[in-house]
Amino acid sequence: MADVVDNDVEQAVLTAWQTDTTTLPGLFGGRLPQTGRLKSIIPGTDVQAGKPTANLDCRLDSRTALAFGAVWLDKRRVTITVRGVRADVVTAVAVIRGIFNSKLGFAGGTPFALPSGAPFLVWEPRRDTTLQEDEATKAGKDVWQGIIEGIVWTQRNN
């Protein structure tokens, strides 16, 4: 179940996504990723539409009390899943990794700020990007998915 902090992180990720004004808008037809749990779609419809789809999911990873419980280190697991034909997925994943990497929010990287104003600490990339053929898709469609994961570290005050 999503909470206020999930929404805060989701909105910051969507804002950072929009910093790419060339490749992603063309690939996704100007659409932002759907948020929440990956939605079921009719197999092959993303390929038939000619544009890849993206999904953004944000969930609590861990929360650690600092300073006698007045300050919390909050970590949210962010998963971006791109589905479509292989060439589009490879291109999208490369651009997304260019935005969401260890430079996020720092000099030389993509700006990153939370709408709540909570301090952003770091984007911690998790595992290598996964690129795989989508097992759930049939009917001879060439559907692939790319998965990018990271942990967003923020400071939260009670």
Concatenating the DSSP letter of every residue in 88-102 gives HHHHHHHHHHHHSST
Residue 124 is part of which domain span?
4-157
pLDDT tens-place string over residues 77-104? 999 999 888 889 999 999 999 999 999 9
CA angle 81, 115, 54 (to 5 degrees): 15
Average pLDDT over residues 131-143: 72
CATH value at residue 96: 3.30.2000.30
Do residues 154 and 113 lie in contact, with contact meaning Cβ atoms separated by under 8 Å? Answer: no
Structure tokens at 12: 């910051």
pTM of the complete model = 0.87
Structural domain count, the chain: 1
